[in-house]
């Protein structure tokens, strides 16, 4: 009996072979956001370069990797290969181009990058503003009673991480003006720490990805929760983000990712209808699962790789494929 990491990988590969035998018409879609140079204790759920490199090595050996658009074309034609998989990144972080792209290229892989265009060239997403406020502030406690959170201690890294989570829960579902105002108020209460401006891609990095054979997908302009917006504004966010990306790359943008991505909570059938009407080929949610022939091409599930070891990660992915209903 093999043990440890290698035994776990052996079992995962056996499961993967079994999944291919029973699930030839299934598509796994991986979801990533950032690939950091090193682990970050304030971002424990994010991938880092060494771990991403190991995972992509296993993916390259175990799957037929397609862009999401290629997978949808093959699915529509009834030609989806066994072990079909798409790799996706949400939001448009600069490390996608700086760190993830070279790793993908080293393993001969392609991916789909969903980019919120309003943060290109020095912008910053609201959640990153909150994270960096609590990372960089010199204050040892902060009074967030006006957000229903009371006085939060910030003396330790764990306390700062808890403050980030609580603050994001409190403001995520505000409409765009109120969300921006809430971030500005937290920044003020934290004594205005300096915040970074290079977290998101520059326009030339979007073009770099496209020229490297990667797929560029839509993700709105300002990454709003679509359900809190008036319909006209929600559709403009989707359409304008796509138009900006097409102008940048000179290529069609055929796929879309719903911000935050939970159906009924972050988007609903109105927004699915908008994406269809605008002529996208398909779209992804953040519901966990494996796409089958019966899945709505405009609400495809994705797989979030939280597991810390390659064997567990591959094994859970294989089980997802086996369990998926045709």
Per residue in 179-212, pLDDT (tens digit) is: 999 999 999 999 999 999 999 999 999 999 999 9
Section 257-285 average pLDDT: 98
Least Cα distance to 305 among 38, 96, 85, 126 occurs for 85
Section 53-63 average pLDDT: 93
Section 250-256 average pLDDT: 97
In this model, does residue 277 exceed pLDDT 60?
A: yes
pLDDT score, position 310: 75
In this model, does residue 239 exceed pLDDT 50?
A: yes
* CATH 3.20.20.370 at 4-119+198-323, yes or no: yes
pLDDT score, position 2: 41
Given a contact cutoff of 8 angstroms between Cβ atoms, the answer to whether 224 and 237 are in contact is yes
In this model, does residue 4 exceed pLDDT 50?
A: no
Residue extents of the structural domains in the chain: 4-119+198-323, 126-189
pLDDT score, position 13: 54
- 302 phi, psi to nearest 5 deg: -135, 165
Tell me the C-alpha distance between 174 and 180, whole Å: 9
pLDDT score, position 1: 34
Given a contact cutoff of 8 angstroms between Cβ atoms, the answer to whether 112 and 89 are in contact is yes
pLDDT score, position 12: 47
What is the model's pTM? 0.91
In this model, does residue 7 exceed pLDDT 80?
A: no
Under 8 Å CB-to-CB from 254, ≥6 apart: which residues?
A: 69, 217, 280, 281, 282
């Amino acid at each position: 009996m093999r043990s440890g990491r290698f035994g776990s990988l052996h079992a995962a590969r056996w499961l993967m072979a079994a999944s291919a035998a029973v699930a030839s018409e299934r598509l796994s879609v991986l979801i990533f956001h950032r690939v950091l140079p090193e682990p970050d204790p304030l971002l424990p759920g994010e991938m880092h370069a060494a771990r991403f490199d190991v995972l992509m090595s296993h993916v390259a050996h175990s799957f037929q990797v397609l862009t999401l658009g290629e997978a949808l074309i093959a699915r529509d034609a009834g030609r989806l290969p066994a072990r079909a998989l798409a790799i996706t990144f949400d939001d448009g972080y600069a490390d996608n181009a700086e760190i993830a792209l070279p790793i993908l290229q080293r393993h001969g892989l392609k991916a789909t990058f969903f980019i919120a265009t309003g943060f290109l060239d020095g912008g910053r997403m609201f959640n990153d503003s909150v994270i960096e406020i609590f990372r960089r502030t010199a204050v040892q406690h902060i009074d967030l009673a006006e957000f229903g959170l009371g006085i939060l201690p910030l003396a330790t890294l764990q306390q700062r991480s808890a403050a980030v989570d609580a603050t994001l829960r409190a403001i995520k579902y505000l409409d765009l003006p109120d969300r921006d105002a809430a971030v500005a108020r937290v920044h003020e209460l934290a004594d205005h720490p300096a915040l970074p401006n290079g977290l998101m891609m520059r326009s030339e990095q979007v073009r770099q990805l496209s020229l490297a054979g990667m797929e560029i997908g839509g993700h709105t302009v300002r990454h709003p929760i679509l359900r809190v917006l008036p319909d006209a504004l929600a559709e403009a966010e989707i359409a304008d983000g796509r138009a900006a990306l097409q102008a940048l790359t000179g290529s069609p943008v055929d796929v879309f990712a719903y911000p935050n991505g939970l159906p009924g909570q972050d988007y609903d059938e109105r927004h699915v209808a908008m994406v269809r009407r605008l002529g996208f080929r398909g779209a992804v949610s953040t519901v966990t699962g494996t796409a089958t022939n019966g899945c709505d091409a405009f609400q495809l599930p994705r797989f979030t790789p939280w597991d810390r070891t390659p064997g567990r990660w591959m094994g859970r992915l294989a089980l997802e494929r086996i369990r998926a209903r045709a």
